[in-house]
Structure 1
Amino acid sequence: MGLFKSELIHSYGPWKGLNDVEAATLDWVHWFNTARPHESIQDLTPIQAEQTHYTHRTRVAEAG
């Protein structure tokens, strides 16, 4: 919650109304879950980490 408030709410306000906050929140959550590099997964985005995981699994399965 603190990261959300510092990165979005406090940085981009003042807000005109609840609808503006809700729309910005949806965009921020989408960015956070798909495009933001995460330190815990070697600074990859979640999508990159998932692609790496499935590429590795496919290669292992093909190698038998």
Structure 2
Amino acid sequence: MALWQRDREGCPHTPRQLIHRCDAGSQYTSFKLAEHLAADGIAASVGSVADAYDNALMESTIGLYATELIKSQRPWRSLSQVELAAAEWVDRYNHRRLHGGIGHVPPVEYEANHYMESTKPQVTITI
């Protein structure tokens, strides 16, 4: 989804620019995922085992997801209903929710501003 979103917004990634961070769960340490990440030029970063601090950001996001979406809208009637609601929650989290840690703007706006600033041509004056 991250690659698709970047391509859709006209900001395709450069190989080795993106990092996939995860814990050491079997689904994240599989050869299949490693091959997929390598094919797209995404660096893998697996956290250390039994290190609560290493995974704190993701656990916080998952807790927010569970509180705001999963627990508040139950009972769920089907898996497809949960999948659609999860996709909508992630879209809102990244595109419309204001994040205080990055200046009260959505993450996509913060990222777009970052790339705009980093690609501005530098003006030099010669006399």
Measured against the shorter chain, the TM-score band is 0.7 to 0.9
Instruction: Tell me, in whole angstroms, the C-alpha distance in 2 between the residues paired with 1:29 and 1:55.
Output: 24
- For 2:112, what is the secondary structure of its paired residue? helix
Aligned residues: 62
Report the CA distance between 1:54 and its aligned residue.
3.4
Mapped pair 1:51 → 2:115: no
Q: Deviation per CA, 1:30-59: give whole Å up to 9, x if none.
A: 21122211111011111221232234332x
**Distance (whole Å) between structure 1 residues aligned to residue 63 and residue 112 of structure 2:** 29
Aligned-partner Cα distance in 2 for 1:9–1:49: 27
Choose 49-58 or 31-40, whichever is displaced more.
49-58
2:11 aligns to what?
none
Structure 2: unaligned runs, 5 residues or longer: 1-61
Q: Does 1:63 align with 2:126?
A: no
Q: Distance in 1 between matches of 2:75 and 2:82?
A: 10
Identity %: 35
Instruction: Give the 4+ runs in structure 1 shifted more than 2 A.
Output: 50-57
Q: Distance in 2 between matches of 1:48 and 1:19?
A: 29
More relative contact order, 1 or 2 (CA 8 Å, 6+ apart): 1
Q: 2:91 maps to what in 1?
A: 30
d(CA) in 2 for partners of 1:55, 1:2: 32
Q: What TM-score do the two structures reach when normalised by structure 2?
A: 0.43
Secondary structure of 2:77's match?
Answer: coil
Give the TM-score normalised by structure 1: 0.75
Look at both structures and tell me which one has the larger radius of gyration over its CA atoms.
2
Greater helix fraction, Structure 1 or Structure 2:
1
d(CA) in 2 for partners of 1:13, 1:25? 13
Stretches of structure 1 that go unaligned for 5 or more consecutive residues are: none
